[in-house]
Amino acid sequence: MPTMQNGDCTLYYEIDGPAGAPTLILSNSLGTELGMWAPQMDALTLLFRVVRMDTRGQGKSGVTPGPYSTAQLGGDVIALMDHLQIPSAHFCGLSMGGMTGMWLGVNHPSRIKRLVLANTSAKIGNAEGWNARIAAVERDGMAPIMPAVLERWFTEGFRQRDPGTVDKVSQMLLRTSAAGYAANCGAVRDMDQRESIGAISAPTLVIAGTHDMATPPEDGMALANAIPGCAYVELDAAHLSNLEQATQFTAHLLQFLTQSEPNHG
């Protein structure tokens, strides 16, 4: 099992695709595992060396004491890049993974080539809401919050149309450590990157979901307006747009990542 140690945390990762291809790092949402990117993998691994990591507190990565911070999660990505000797890479993060991507774009610009921020925001929710969710999970575990989370993550139509995918995601949620989930909720609660994201210099694409209640399209548009030269696309999906509109998501991701660089000569 490929793991690395960053301080007190064991981080689990997987690498797929040709060794000599450009590197693309995929970063997961709150309460999921690296398997959430399964629908994208066949297409992405034709062109990229795809690196996926379970965020600390989730999946097969270790659970360390929380609350976590966006800087801590971003530091895990940099530690993995250093471990794998990756000087710079493309980065695509969804929801909490997008928060991490913003932080990397601001604080480690030389490490990020192209940046994709999906279904995310520079600030998500309020402290009261996150504290209530943390308290509920610490008290009762993951199962009671699952129905409400799935309602935010997928439209009703998709839940009826593709129960298999919804079940896979629900199993990821149930497998998530309550302590790890609560610690990552702390990172989301404490994050506010609205003042800093204007410093992102990497070419950036924001992907939003029309029916996303967690990070609505207005949040995505605000991101795109704040980041210089940012592109924006909106999909007919709720929060996990890479699953609900997998084909379109993959097509927009590939189109953006394979664009030739502008000629400044």
Instruction: Give the rounded percent of residues in the chain with a pLDDT score beyond 70.
Output: 98
Q: For the chain, report the end-to-end CA distance as a whole number of angstroms.
A: 46
Q: How do strand 204-209 and strand 231-235 relate by DSSP bridges? A: parallel
Prediction pTM value: 0.97
3-257: CATH, from 3.30.1240.10, 3.40.50.300, 3.40.50.1820, 3.30.420.40: 3.40.50.1820
Query: Residue 261 — pLDDT band, cuts 50, 70, 90?
Result: low
Each residue's pLDDT tens digit, 101-149:
999 999 999 999 999 999 999 999 999 999 999 999 999 999 999 999 9
Each residue's pLDDT tens digit, 53-90:
999 999 999 999 999 999 999 999 999 999 999 999 99
Q: How do strand 231-235 and strand 3-6 relate by DSSP bridges? A: unpaired
Each residue's pLDDT tens digit, 21-49:
999 999 999 999 999 999 999 999 999 99
